[in-house]
Amino acid sequence: MAIPNDLLDGYRRFRAGRYSHEIERYLSLAGGQKPQTMIIGCADSRVDPATIFAAGPGELFVVRNVAALVPPYEESQGFHGTSAAVEFAVDGLGIRNIVVMGHSFCGGVEAALAAAEHRPVGRFIRPWVEMLAERRDALLADPNCPTDPRELLHALESLAVLTSIANLKTFPFVRQAIAERRLVIHGARFSIAAGELQWLDAETETFASIVEHAP
């Protein structure tokens, strides 16, 4: 059997550890799922929502893609993977919260900046990250735009979260769920090196660090 050794070792640890300790949970989950929160996160291997939120099986409904981007609502023919996940979460599962979670040193956001300089970023990546073009170009045109490359990247990472949230609200079923107070949309940003979660203040469109200790 050609399963990679690291995956085989991990699976064996899972069977001997988590699965053996939570058999009843897995048996109940076989009958269906009812998570309360959807996480739209980046595909980056360093930013796993279940790890960050210490979530068990069945607790989070997660979709991950390059830069945690949500496309605007459209009805054209094509493959709308993220849109399909949002539709199933809201209409199928009755999700109560959607969290768009960006992160530091995001390669997808970096690709959006590279595209502005007409540098090669990939055949499929370029049109995907061009969802950030409007906010990216406005940021670069701002006289107060950061000159330090790292600060510029972090600024666009935050704007990427705002872009996805705005795009989410173009979906009719999302707007209806929000209007009926069945759904709340949140924004977050995770700092990889610091292991720190920042949460979006929707009114000021700024991020503040989550206080670790209990209130």
State the pLDDT at residue 78.
86
Crossing angle (nearest 10°) for helices 149-168 and 133-141? 140
DSSP letter for 71, please.
P
Determine the Cα angle at 125 with ends 121 and 129, to 5°.
100
State the pLDDT at residue 177.
98
Residue 153 CA to residue 121 CA, distance in Å, equals 16
Kindly indicate the confidence band of residue 212, based on its pLDDT and cuts at 50, 70 and 90.
Answer: low
Q: Which residues contact 175 (CB under 8 A, 6 or more apart)?
A: 169
State the pLDDT at residue 3.
95
Q: Is it the case that residue 211 has pLDDT exceeding 90? A: no
Q: Is it the case that residue 150 has pLDDT exceeding 70? A: yes
Q: pLDDT per residue over 15-38, tens digit each? A: 999 999 999 999 999 999 999 999
CA distance from start to end of the chain: 51
Grouping H, G, I as helix, E, B as strand and the rest as coil, residue 202 is coil
State the pLDDT at residue 33.
97
Do 166 and 134 form a contact (C-beta atoms < 8 A)? Answer: no
Q: pLDDT per residue over 165-203, tens digit each? A: 999 999 999 999 999 999 999 999 999 999 999 999 999
Kindly indicate the confidence band of residue 133, based on its pLDDT and cuts at 50, 70 and 90.
Answer: very high
Q: Which residues contact 146 (CB under 8 A, 6 or more apart)?
A: 152, 154, 155
Nearest to 189 by CA among 69, 62, 41: 41
Query: Which pair of tokens denotes residue 20?
Result: 């053996």
Residue 33 CA to residue 189 CA, distance in Å, equals 26
Instruction: Please provide the average confidence, as pLDDT, over all residues in the chain.
Output: 96
The DSSP code sequence of 101-120 is EEETT-HHHHHHHHHHTT--
